[in-house]
A = this chain, B = another copy of it.
């Protein structure tokens, strides 16, 4: 009875969080320019009321009684896990002074304009005061949340529960050891032909082709839609309404195509959550206050990267679909072979910008940011020394000299919103994708399916092992159930080594 009441309250919290997502989606895709300011107020009100509802005395009383009700159930029982998750989230929120949350939101609302100007003028000094406050507030936040070893652990908790500086250290070391030789070796090789990707591709045709590819991998338009934004994203309002966006560059077709595959991969996660978990804690990030079924940001990224890269940039995929690409773009691809297309979309070339990085160099961008964030938070790196540290890492990892701060330390929007602690998810997603994909491909039907452009067996395996569970199991628990072991970089490193050795004849 109390359990049922608690779940009804969580259902309302989920409704409010989904509502916030709808308002944000609308603001980014549909809202006329003039709506900006009042939309901000609407979102702020929802945000306050949602947190208030979750931690209210009434909810806590329901929680106390629900805990007593489920106490006799065995560990791991769905009801018991759900109740424990609510307790964990409420404790988390009550630990953070409202004043601190308010201050960080305020900082975020002014930070963006300062950052945008600093970036436009490539002048890091303008951004220093804001960034210093952001670091200080996040350090306070970490202290309020609590941690065992490193304050940065407390900040990552919201996005990647269980991940710590201590666990990331060996992971990053192994990735550097495994991938740096590949990057270096490719630097000595000739690059494949690339010109045809930069021909003129009309936006309408890109939209149609990108959407058709997203549907091929299983994105369900009965419960989704594709729109256009400058920065692609996926967002869900329950599993029944999961939307994606992509960007269209008329002179570079790969952006929309792989953007759509990437976001469709995210969307498949949400569309695949067990319907029975709708509006429950298993479809609600009660710590991050975000209506999402994926169990961590890294786990989510594993699905987008799996479909974008392991499937979407594979030789098998284009062996089956290059004819369709040619049908969609007969003029642009008339002098291009399947092999040339496959090599072009897998070209690896170190660059300054994370969001434009290829599969092989991407993780270096992530590692450098994560290390820098952790160092800022523990005070071992002063904000003013950031560009120097950044540029040194880019030189070490990718062999490049950063020419200015716009192409360096000012390129990402994250810090301007007051947020610290979310970069590692991208690399964890890559590693996890490698691990899951290796395991899935052991089933003959999956490998055969992919070779025949039938992605249903792979999707069924992912649904069975990952998607359907929503937030029921932690990320590593999910990995152990699916692959027999926790996060493990070896399959990912082996995959990249094989792929790039063949591509570049290393």
Contact = CB atoms under 8 A, between A and B. Distances in A.
Interface of A: 11-12, 15-16, 18-19, 22-23, 26, 30-39, 41-42, 44-46, 48-49, 53, 220-225, 237-238, 240-241, 243, 278-279
Given A19-B23, A23-B22, A237 B42 contact: yes
B38 A240 contact: yes
Oligomer copy total: 2
A35 B279 contact: no
A15 B279 contact: no
Closest 3 CB pairs of A and B: A35-B241, A34-B223, A15-B45
A204 to B, nearest CB: 13
A31 B241 contact: yes
Given A22-B22, A22-B26, A49-B49, A15 B32 contact: no
A222 B33 contact: yes
Given A41-B279, A237-B39, A241-B39, A46 B34 contact: no
Contact of A241 (B18, B32, B49): B32
A279 B23 contact: no
Given A38-B278, A238-B38, A240-B37, A46 B19 contact: yes
Contacts of A15: 41-42, 44-46
Nearest to A13: B45
A284 B41 CA distance: 15
Contact of A279 (B22, B38, B240): B38
B38 A19 contact: no
A238 B49 contact: no
27 contacts: A11-B41, A11-B45, A12-B49, A15-B41, A15-B45, A15-B46, A16-B45, A16-B46, A19-B19, A22-B42, A26-B26, A30-B30, A30-B225, A32-B241, A32-B243, A33-B222, A33-B223, A34-B220, A35-B223, A35-B237, A35-B238, A35-B240, A38-B278, A38-B279, A41-B279, A49-B49, A49-B53
